[in-house]
Structure 1
Amino acid sequence: MPGVIVTNPPRAAAEDVEALAGYGVATVGEAMGRTGLLGPGIRPVQQGVRVAGTAVTVLSWPGDNLMIHAAVEQCGEGDILVVTTTSPSTDGMFGELFATALRRRGVRGLVTGAGIRDTQELREMGFAAWSRAVSAQGTVKATGGSVNVPVALDGQVVHPGDVVVADDDGVVVVPRERARQVAEASEAREKKEAASRAAFLDGQLGLDRYGLRERLRQLGVTYQTYDEDAAGERP
């Protein structure tokens, strides 16, 4: 498979990445209109970690990690490596040695649609990773691929330089050109949720805060006592 390694692609502004890092994946996904989210099959190997960074993308042959080696050279401070394969694969394409090299270059984490291994070591060294599978199965280094090209992962197109936000809930991808706008929308959503949180702590119900009693009425949902229900007295 011939390929290409693209050097120095444009990246989202560092200040926008840092702004997005302050919000959870769920908040960012909602702020983008429930878009950009990867599927629930891509899960973290650790808990309690949130990262945000700019994507360096890899397109590899299944069971072959040659292009990850090539991608390490293209990674820098604040990046997140995003690895995909040309067809489904669960092989452990990434492990502790790759993480050591990437951490030396300031890379914040890995997201892959394939498999990883050495998960205990990754947790111990504090290198964050999200993957579709965990597998001890090794790989070869025999087939060409591409680095820093648009790739498809769980129905989302990831371009090099896009912002990747990942936490315990999963992964969301923010297009580079929208990073500032999505950060502002995430801030607005966070403020709205803070106001609702305060109201709930004060005893207000979501039924009243969100005007849902009228919605129930419109849908024909009624209230009745337990005795009425037991007696089969339905409207």
Structure 2
Amino acid sequence: MSQCDHPAVQWPAGYRIQPRVEGAAPTIVAAFREIPVAAIGDSMSRNIGTVGLRPYHRRMETVLCGPAVTVRVRPGDNLMIHKALMMVHPGDVLVIDGGGDVTQALVGGLMRTTCVTKQLGGLVIDGAIRDLCEWAEDGMPIFAKGNTHRGPSKDGPGEVNVPVSCAGLVVMPGDLIVGDADGVIAVPASEASHILERCHAHLAKEAKIRADNAAGTSDPERFDAALRAKGLPL
């Protein structure tokens, strides 16, 4: 048993390294790759997801999808991100709580090379990145709050595989992370199968509305009923 796995280990203040948490089944992950983030959000009450992040990969149609390995760092320090990259499995998504600080980059081009070699599923960073031309290349989707040429320190503290808050999104280790041109969302692994069913039902409903809109046969009662309920004389 490694020190990282030992339940009785006493970590110094500000440091913690927990084991990787297994996420949803590969079939569930593959199915969510085909679901737009907006539809997932609609199926999860419309108030869940990151705020203020942007994609830095070139192809906007690229989908990020995989189980979360979470990291919390001191703003501007990436020591624990390097440690997390030693622990990831192919397809994992690194979710980094950098406190929203954009004065120092947390990852750059050299780390991108490691991410590609490790076959990481992508990165979601509440913080800054650098070496934008390299991140724009195909093969490694990344969402971040900003960018700067200023590099990070490597002193710590930090934590791996703990609950984090990333750009307004609460993420637990093992959560299924999905990101596309519209944003990033986290699906609890234990609820993924049920939420996938809701997503399929929602997409079927949207398909009918889209067809009615295109044919000019949409039902005005869809909105008139809501307006009458508010007391408007229609």
- The alignment's TM-score, normalised by the length of structure 2, stands at 0.86
Aligned to 1:148: 161
Q: Distance in 2 between matches of 1:120 and 1:23?
A: 28
* Max Rg structure: 1
Aligned to 1:194: 207
* CA-to-aligned-CA distance 1:177-203 (integer Å, 9 cap, x gap): 111111111111111111111122221
Q: Does 2:26 align with 1:9?
A: no
Shift of 1:79: 0.7
Residue correspondence of structure 1 range 150-169 to structure 2 within 5 A: 150-169=163-182
Q: How many residues align?
A: 219
Local SS of the residue matching 1:124: coil
Unpaired runs of at least 5, structure 2: 1-12
Shift of 1:170: 0.8
Shift of 1:205: 3.0
Q: Does 2:188 align with 1:175?
A: yes
Q: Does 2:51 align with 1:34?
A: no
Q: Which amino acid aligns with 1:179?
A: A
Q: Which amino acid aligns with 2:200?
A: E
Q: Which amino acid aligns with 2:40?
A: V
Aligned to 1:18: 30
Q: Distance in 2 between matches of 1:159 and 1:150?
A: 5
* CA-to-aligned-CA distance 1:3-57 (integer Å, 9 cap, x gap): 1222232222211111111111110011112243111x11111322222111011
Please give the root-mean-square deviation of Cα atoms over the aligned residues, in Å. Answer: 1.8
* CA-to-aligned-CA distance 1:173-229 (integer Å, 9 cap, x gap): 111111111111111111111111112222123534x2x223344546578xxxxxx
Structure 1 consecutive aligned stretches of length 4 or more whose deviation exceeds 4 Å: 217-223
Instruction: Pick closer, same or farther for the CA change 1:14–1:113 going to 2, 3 Å.
Output: same
Residue correspondence of structure 1 range 45-124 to structure 2 within 5 A: 45-46=56-57, 47-85=60-98, 87-90=99-102, 91-124=104-137
1:126 to 129, 139, 146: 139
Q: Distance in 2 between matches of 1:219 and 1:33?
A: 22
